[in-house]
Amino acid sequence: MRKTIYKWIFFRILGWKIEGEVAKEIHKCVFIVIPHTSWYDFFIGLFVRGILNIEINFVGKKELFVFPLNYYFKSIGGAPLDRSGNKNLVDSIVEIFNQRKTFRLAIAPEGTRKKVETLRTGFYYVALKAQVPIISVAFDFEKKTVSIATPFYPTGNIEEDFKVLLKPFQGVMGKHKAQSFVVKEN
């Protein structure tokens, strides 16, 4: 019932479409979602998650996961991030991957909703260390399309891998066009 409501709102009322899919056998991956220019992105992500009917996760500092918010955050895929013991962010997230049977991490590598020229690379090293694929997901507000690319396993050659990972984002515009991350053509 919920999936039907999500589809009706997302496709009929909002006029969006989804291109591509996530194979059900992929239980662990890192979704990179670009561009991230607005808080609307979060809700588009929730609709897509509901329509695809798969668990999609995010991380937040453990201090956010306190009563009563912990129930809500966990219900929408949140995972508390414990960085105690001087663990770095990448190792902390890889630990979550190792502890769970299913963990599909969605992350905005821009790290902010403001205009950026370069992406943060932590997502890449998480996927490399956890040995999971990266799936590029473009939220194109101009075309009202969410495009899901095929899974890509990082090789360790970040420069070459980024050429593949960023290709699906060429020409994609976020809700606030001026703040969109621009992928330079190779």
Does residue 181 belong to any structural domain of this protein?
no
Are 144 and 157 spatial neighbours (Cβ–Cβ below 8 Å)?
no
pLDDT at site 146:
97
Q: What is the mean pLDDT of residues 52-69?
A: 88
pLDDT at site 47:
94
Does residue 182 belong to any structural domain of this protein?
no
pTM: 0.91
Does residue 105 belong to any structural domain of this protein?
yes
pLDDT at site 186:
59
Q: Where residue 122 falls among pLDDT bands split at 50, 70, 90?
A: very high
Count up the domains in the chain and report the number.
1
Q: Where residue 7 falls among pLDDT bands split at 50, 70, 90?
A: very high
Does residue 169 belong to any structural domain of this protein?
yes
Torsion angle of C-alpha atoms 47, 50, 52, 56, degrees rounded to 10: 90
Does residue 178 belong to any structural domain of this protein?
no
Domain that holds residue 28: 2-173
CB-based burial label for 52 (10 Å; 0-12, 13-18, 19+):
middle
Higher pLDDT, 67 or 18: 18
